[in-house]
Amino acid sequence: MPLICITYMLQSIDKTTLSYAAVFDLRAEVGLKGTQYSWLGSLFYLGYLFWEYPTSLLLQRFPVAKFMSGTVIVWGIILMCHAAAHDLAGLAAARTFLGTLEASINPGTMIIFSMWYKRSEHPLRMGIWIGSAGIGYVLAGIASFGIGHIGGSLSSWKYMFLIWEAITTSWGVVIYLVLPDSPLKAGFLSAEERRGVIHRIRENETSMENKQFKKAQYLNARLAVIMVCLAPFLAGTIGTWLVPHSILYGRLVCLWISFSYTATWTLSMSVATANTAGHTKKVTTNAFLLIGYCLGNFISPFFFLAEQAPWYELGVGMMFFCIGVQVVSIVGLWVLLWNRNRSRETATMSERDLIKGYENGFRDLTDLENVHFEYVY
């Protein structure tokens, strides 16, 4: 857990370093005008979107930990290249490539969760993992303030990219040396302890790992979307929109309340990981889940039109629309999984059937092919 949490924390810091650099004259020195800075933010997710599915296939083909460590090292180098950019084109290229490299962390982490933890353990651990990004934002803000006041031959914003590059690249080396590709290859575990890990997760009824791409599993992959904590998110959004601008603290509290939406993302990944069996199907589902995440981040800024400030009717309206879509999606998902479990009569399964389900999971069958698979929701 500490290894993947620190990795995610650095990912959150590195992708937002551009925002802190903008405070220390990056826009003026590079000559950014109009919406060019906003496009730099979107290009990160464009690169992420473009490379998400290919990187999921590569994660299946290569050792997970080694592949992730390689991408961390390379994205650290790409982060350093930001400091060498002197125009929009240079920054745009760096942001796009940074997005492609960071695309491996989320699907790789979900694969690691499925290898090491039982399905009942996923939500809490994913919550801790997602929460590490918040720690990263806090550290980035404090550190960037200090870095921004460094006196040297370079512009202060360039030091931000160089310092975080050194930290990220060094951490990539640590991951390569310490993080095992699977429990079967964990050098710090004895043979008996490795068997114990495998025995723990057998109830997941999902395979440990499989390097062969299976087209049939790709075709029946489903994207599981879950909704939780939408009530406070809805209340916070309405409050932020309706509370008068003169009541700053009231609007701030509403904004804090609206951040409950992060729980929906955590549980979306948890449900997708727990209810998807078959290694190819799992990486495919993870890829499409993250592609949706990228699309949302890419297009959402365009709904907040400058001419509609400060109320942004279109942007807020789209937020309400998305909440409605989430409600419909979670109800539909609940009905789907409940019906599948009911049709398989999992509640009355014998112990022999459960053991058969565990065995089928390690044969790399999908949740649809394994008739003894029990969905959790």
Contacts of 218-222 spanning 24+ positions with Cβ under 8 A = 218/280, 218/281, 218/284, 220/281, 220/366, 220/368, 221/276, 221/281, 221/284, 221/285, 221/288, 222/276, 222/285
Residue 42 exposure: Cα atoms within 13 Å on the Cβ side: 12
Q: Is residue 15 part of a domain?
A: yes
pTM: 0.70
- Residue 229 pLDDT more than 90? no
- Residue 68 pLDDT more than 80? yes
Query: Of the given ranges (167-181, 217-231, 304-318), which has the lowest mean pLDDT?
Result: 217-231
80 vs 284, higher pLDDT? 80
pLDDT value, residue 222: 38
Q: Is residue 161 part of a domain?
A: yes
Q: Is residue 306 part of a domain?
A: no
> Binning pLDDT at 50, 70 and 90, where does residue 112 land?
confident
Q: Is residue 82 part of a domain?
A: yes
Tokens for 347, please give them: 């509640």
Mean pLDDT across the stretch 136-164? 87
Q: Is residue 345 part of a domain?
A: no
Q: Is residue 374 part of a domain?
A: no
- Residue 183 pLDDT more than 80? no
CATH number at 102 reads 1.20.1250.20
Mean pLDDT across the stretch 207-217? 49
Please tell me the total count of domains within the chain: 1
Q: Is residue 120 part of a domain?
A: yes
**DSSP per position, 148-174:** TT--SSS-HHHHHHHHHHHHHHHHHHH
- Residue 225 pLDDT more than 50? no
Its domain, for residue 10, covers 2-207
Q: Is residue 248 part of a domain?
A: no
